[in-house]
Amino acid sequence: MSDIPRRALSRSAKMAGLPLGMAGRATVGLGKRIGGRPAEVVAAELQARTAEQIFQVLGQLKGGAMKLGQAMSVFEAALPEDVAAPYRMALTKLQEAAPPLPVATVHKVLASELGADWRSWFLSFDDAPAAAASIGQVHRAVWSDGRAVAVKIQYPGAGAALLGDLKQLSRLARVFSAFSPGLDIKPLLAELERRVAEELDYVLEAQSQSTFAAAYEGNDEILVPPVVTGSSRVLVTEWIDGVPLSRIIVDGTPEERDRASLLLARFLYSGPVLAGLLHADPHPGNFRLLPDGRLGVIDFGAVDHLPDGVPESIGRVVRLAIEDDADAVMRELRSEGFIKDELDLDPHEVLDYLRPMLEPVASPTFRFTRAWLRTQAVRIADPRSPAAALGRQLNLPPSYLLIHRVAIGMIAVLCQLGGQGEFRAEMEKWQPGFAPPLRLEPEAEAG
């Protein structure tokens, strides 16, 4: 048997081992309870060990399975506190840490991408990774001109692993078609694969990051580190220091939470307007609150190209929903493909589904909380809920895939931060179609 099939079998076995491992721990826990140990103590041990297994297995797999783990680490905010707490620390580690590559492998990749004399590019290079993500790890170094730089190195075989994992995970995704008859799953999966393939090319990432850096150059609130050099599997950018949002989520001050929340929303809203791009990976490890109060942004592998900005229809739907215009909302959703023509849905039920989720921009200020997110998650996920039944009738057009990912991800991070801010004003400034159309005064109309 060749190495490739062996590795594929190993990855599949590890993925399969997650539920099996959980089941095994549950069996052990049952035995301990029978032995007389308090049920709550056993349950806590079981959850802690399972959380650690999630980190170990998904971290070793990297690729698509690691991305699944990163998504879990963001969306834990929607889980009940007694369930989420034991998993939070292990899952948050996935946002910035994973088992590192051997040093010899790191050097081999650098030699193949930058040349045998790769060390001549650096005054110093730290062999210990500073952070690790789904398809690469980051090392701190000093460039030949004295600048501190971040060197991102793609894991060997990451491309095949990532796409292979997505194919395995897509088998689970197809189950949704049985429960969500309004969802066209095949074109959505095809778009997802195409987008993920783009993330594997660090040349494309360098272009995206350079575009963002130019757009925010001199900005007193947002910092995007410039690109120094790169290749298809190595990317060198200027290093930025700061407190990751994952740390602020754990022990940030109220002022830090509010500041980080507002700047995160401002960056994600303004990107399509200023750079023609949407940063499409909003997990806390990709953002830093800098000592001077700016928000530092890293990792531009996942972006959505929006040269004309975010579609105006999104702003119109949100505004019309806030204004309780159910019929107009229904027309907009049908025209954009969110509701299939053959489905006969009640416009007011559709409005009732959307309205609670728009509370953050329905009033001048709003505080995001885990409790609010859990309320929304229960409302749209509980099979007994009318909102859940309606949600299964809605479609996600492929062109909105990354926009949807960013919106949901941003809300989840904001709820983890628990910040308060004027988020409606941000949407009014940056989102086309949201601000009400200008009404001419009678004198102006006559003139």
**Domain of 297?**
243-440
| Minimum mean pLDDT range among 9-18, 59-68, 236-245 | 9-18
Nearest in space to 405 (alpha carbons), one of 137, 195, 172, 232:
195
Domain count, the chain: 2
C-alpha angle 287-293-297 in degrees, rounded to nearest 5: 20
| pLDDT at residue 423, as a whole number | 97
For residue 120, give the H/E element and its range: none
* Domain end position, chosen among 70, 93, 116: 93
Nearest in space to 207 (alpha carbons), one of 305, 310, 294:
305
| Minimum mean pLDDT range among 83-92, 97-106, 189-198, 273-282 | 83-92
Label residue 75 by pLDDT band (50, 70, 90).
very low
| pLDDT at residue 58, as a whole number | 47
Label residue 261 by pLDDT band (50, 70, 90).
very high
Q: For residue 6, give Cα distances in angstroms to 13, 56, 74.
A: 10, 20, 32
Answer whether residue 444 shows pLDDT above 50.
no
- Kindly state the average pLDDT of the residues 390-394: 85
Please return the burial class of 238, using the count of CB atoms within 10 Å of its CB with bins 0-12, 13-18 and 19+.
Answer: middle
Answer whether residue 446 shows pLDDT above 50.
no
| pLDDT at residue 397, as a whole number | 87
Answer whether residue 362 shows pLDDT above 90.
yes
| Rounded Cα gap, residues 434 and 19, in angstroms | 44
Per the structure block, which two tokens stand in for 402?
């990354």
Answer whether residue 441 shows pLDDT above 60.
no
Q: Which long-range contacts (CB under 8 A, 24 or more apart) does 380-386 make?
A: 380/353, 386/349, 386/352
| pLDDT at residue 188, as a whole number | 67
C-alpha dihedral sign at 113, 119, 121, 123: positive
Answer whether residue 19 shows pLDDT above 50.
no
| pLDDT at residue 178, as a whole number | 53
| pLDDT at residue 200, as a whole number | 83
Return the DSSP state at 315.
Answer: H
- CA 159 remoteness from chain centre: 19
Answer whether residue 298 shows pLDDT above 70.
yes
Q: Which residues are CB-contacts of 244 (< 8 A; sequence separation ≥ 6)?
A: 95, 96, 284, 285, 287, 288
| Minimum mean pLDDT range among 186-195, 282-291, 361-370, 425-434 | 186-195
Query: Which residue carries 């429960």 as its tokens?
Result: 179
Q: Are 128 and 163 in contact (CB under 8 A)?
A: no
Whether 348 is in a domain gets the answer yes
Answer whether residue 389 shows pLDDT above 80.
yes
| Rounded Cα gap, residues 182 and 168, in angstroms | 23
* Domain end position, chosen among 60, 93, 126: 93
Whether 385 is in a domain gets the answer yes
- Kindly state the average pLDDT of the residues 350-369: 95
Tens of pLDDT, residue by residue over 23-53, are 333 333 333 333 444 444 444 444 455 444 4
- Kindly state the average pLDDT of the residues 284-302: 94
* Domain end position, chosen among 93, 122, 155: 93
- The per-residue pLDDT of the chain, averaged, comes to 78
| Rounded Cα gap, residues 423 and 8, in angstroms | 45
